[in-house]
C-alpha cells in the first residue's frame, strides 16, 4: 500500500487536474493539498478535487480490502460505475454514496448525464438521441446518446 510521507498545503501556480476524475481540481492562486506518497522505491505526488477526496471513504468500504493497493483511477471508476446506476434517478432518495458516485460519473471524461434517464424519440426507437428537456423548452434539450446516460434505455 502506498504510504503518505508528506501532506502540504500549497498555493497553486498553475491549474491542476484531479488525478482521479480529471476535472479541474485547483485554479492558479487557490490553496490546495498536495500529498506525497511512496510505494516501493517510487515516490509520487497526488492532487485531487474535493468531491473525489470526499468519495474515498466510500471507495475504501466498497473495495473491502482491495484498496490496500491504493485507490487508482480504475478503482474509483469501477466503484462509481457499480454504485451510481443503482441509484434511483430522484435525488431525494439517493444515499450519500450514490450521490458521490453519480457526481463522479458527471465529472469524469466527457461527463455522464446523471439528472435524468434516457428518453428516446417517440415513435423512432432507432434514433439514439435523448429528447429530455429539463425545463420543458428546447433550450435545455438533451440530445445525448443512450450510453452517455447513467440510466440508459433498457
Ligand atoms: Zn476529482
Ligand atoms: Zn438525456
pLDDT in tens, 80-121: 999 999 998 888 899 999 999 999 999 998 899 999 999 999
Mean pLDDT of 42-51: 94
- In three-state secondary structure terms, 80 is helix
Centre of ligand 2 from the C-alpha of residue 132, in Å: 5
* Contact (Cβ atoms closer than 8 angstroms) between residue 45 and residue 12: no
Q: Which residues pair with 26 in a beta bridge?
A: 16
Confidence of residue 154 (pLDDT cuts 50, 70, 90): low
Percent of the chain beyond pLDDT 70?
99
Centre of ligand 2 from the C-alpha of residue 130, in Å: 5
- In three-state secondary structure terms, 44 is strand
Centre of ligand 2 from the C-alpha of residue 72, in Å: 29
CA–CA distance from 21 to each of 55, 59, 139 (Å)? 11, 14, 28
Confidence of residue 153 (pLDDT cuts 50, 70, 90): confident
Q: Which numbered ligand comes closest to the C-alpha of 130?
A: 2
Centre of ligand 1 from the C-alpha of residue 25, in Å: 6
Amino acid at each position: 500500500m502506498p504510504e503518505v510521507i508528506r501532506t502540504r498545503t500549497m498555493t497553486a501556480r498553475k491549474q491542476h487536474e484531479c488525478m482521479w476524475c480529471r476535472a479541474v481540481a485547483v485554479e492558479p492562486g487557490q490553496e490546495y493539498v498536495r500529498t506525497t506518497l511512496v510505494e516501493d522505491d517510487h515516490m509520487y505526488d497526488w492532487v485531487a478535487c474535493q468531491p473525489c477526496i470526499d468519495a474515498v471513504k466510500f471507495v475504501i468500504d466498497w473495495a473491502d480490502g482491495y484498496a490496500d493497493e491504493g485507490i487508482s483511477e480504475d478503482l474509483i471508476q469501477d466503484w462509481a460505475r457499480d454504485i451510481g446506476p443503482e441509484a434511483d434517478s430522484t435525488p431525494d432518495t439517493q444515499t450519500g454514496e450514490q450521490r458521490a458516485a453519480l457526481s463522479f460519473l458527471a465529472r469524469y471524461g466527457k461527463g455522464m448525464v446523471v439528472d435524468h434517464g434516457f428518453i428516446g424519440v417517440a415513435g423512432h426507437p432507432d434514433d439514439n438521441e435523448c429528447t429530455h428537456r429539463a425545463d420543458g423548452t428546447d433550450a435545455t434539450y438533451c440530445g445525448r446518446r443512450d450510453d452517455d446516460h447513467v440510466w440508459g434505455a433498457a
